[in-house]
Structure 1
Amino acid sequence: MRVDWRPRPLPGADGLILYDGVCVLCSAFVRFVVVRDRAGRWRFVPVQSPYGRALAARLGIDPERPQTVAVLREGMAYFKLDAAAAVLRDWPAWAWTRILTRLPRPLAERLYDLIARNRYRLFGRTACAVPPPQLAGRVLTDAP
C-alpha cells in the first residue's frame, strides 16, 4: 500500500518532530534543530517510544521501518522534504532549502526515499536511548 505523504491536517499537534531514534542521520537532524532552536519551539519524539509508536500509527508510518520523519506544526503534519522545510523555514539562513519543496513531488519523493532506504548503511545506527543534556525535557517518550 502506497501512503500519500503530502502535508495534511492534524489538529491539536504542534511543535513535534517524530524521528527514527536509532538512525544516526535522523538523530543528527535533531541535534541540528536543537542548536538553532533557541526559543525551544521543537520537541522530539523517537518513533521507537510508546508515544512515537502511537503517533506513527496515527500518521500511517510503520514504526518498525519508518519511511519518513514527520513534523507537526500549526495543526499540520509534514513528511519527507516538506517536513525539513517546515522546520527550516523559520531560520533565514536556511530559507534557500525551500527550493527542495519546489521539485516535482515524484522526483522529491524518489530522492528522499533513496536516502531513507540506505540511511543505516550510509550513516549507521545508534543504540543510545539516553538523550544528551541539551535535550532534557524536549524528548518525549510518553504522551504529554
Structure 2
Amino acid sequence: MRQRPYSYRNDASVPAFADDRPVIVFDGECIFCSSWVRFLLRHDRLARYRYLTAQSPLGQALYRHYGLSVRNFESNILIEDGVAHFKSDGSIRTLAGLGWPWSLMNICRILPAALRDPLYDLVAKNRYRIAGRRSSCVVPTPEERGRFIT
C-alpha cells in the first residue's frame, strides 16, 4: 500500500498533529504492544519517537486513512518523514532508528516482506493470547508524557 508522503495532511478526517519526528501508532490495550513501547522509551535515548495509541481519535483516523481495521489493530504504524511503514518493515525501521546496536536489525530487510510479514502476522493475531489485554491504555510517566500525542 503506497501512499504519498504526508498524504494524511490532505485528509480532512485526520486531525493535524506534530509530525516533525517519527510517530509510532500502537494498540494501547495490548500488553505486548505496550511492552514494545516501554522498550522503545527505555532505549530511545535521543527521544526520537513520539507515541500515539490506536484507540485515540487521531490514531483511529490514521488507521482509517491507511485502510486498516479500527477494531483489530494488527499492525503498528511507524510514520517517518510523512511515510507510513507497517508490519515487519515498520518494526525493523523503528529498531534501526534507535542507533547502535539496534541498527543491526536493518540486515533483516534483506529478506522480502513476503517472508518476514507472516511471522509478524502470526504474533499480531495472537498477541492477546501471548501477553493479554488491558482495559485501559498505557499511562506514561510525567517524564514521558511529552513524547505521547494525545
TM-score bucket (shorter structure) = 0.7 to 0.9
CA distance in 2, matches of 1:123, 1:20: 13
Instruction: Give 1:97's aligned residue.
Output: 105
Measured after TM superposition, the shift of residue 130 of structure 1 is 5.2
- Point out where structure 2 has 5 or more consecutive residues left out of the alignment: 10-18
Contact in 2 for aligned 1:9/1:77 (Cα 8 Å):
no
CA distance in 1, matches of 2:30, 2:110: 27
Instruction: Give 1:129's aligned residue.
Output: 137
Aligned length: 136
Taking structure 1 as the reference length, what is the TM-score of the superposition?
A: 0.84
SS of aligned partner of 2:70: coil
Contact in 1 for aligned 2:29/2:138 (Cα 8 Å):
no
Instruction: Give 2:122's aligned residue.
Output: 114
Comparing 8-17 with 72-81, which one deviates more in the overlay? 8-17
Instruction: Give 1:47's aligned residue.
Output: 54
Give the % identical residues: 35
Measured after TM superposition, the shift of residue 65 of structure 1 is 0.5
Taking structure 2 as the reference length, what is the TM-score of the superposition?
A: 0.81
Structure 1 pair 115–85 and aligned structure 2 pair: CA distance change class (3 A): same
Measured after TM superposition, the shift of residue 139 of structure 1 is 1.9
Instruction: Give 1:83's aligned residue.
Output: 90
Instruction: Give 2:71's aligned residue.
Output: 64
RMSD: 1.8
Measured after TM superposition, the shift of residue 74 of structure 1 is 1.3
The answer to whether structure 1 residue 10 and structure 2 residue 10 are counterparts is: no
List 4+ stretches of structure 1 deviating above 6 A.
none
- Point out where structure 1 has 5 or more consecutive residues left out of the alignment: none
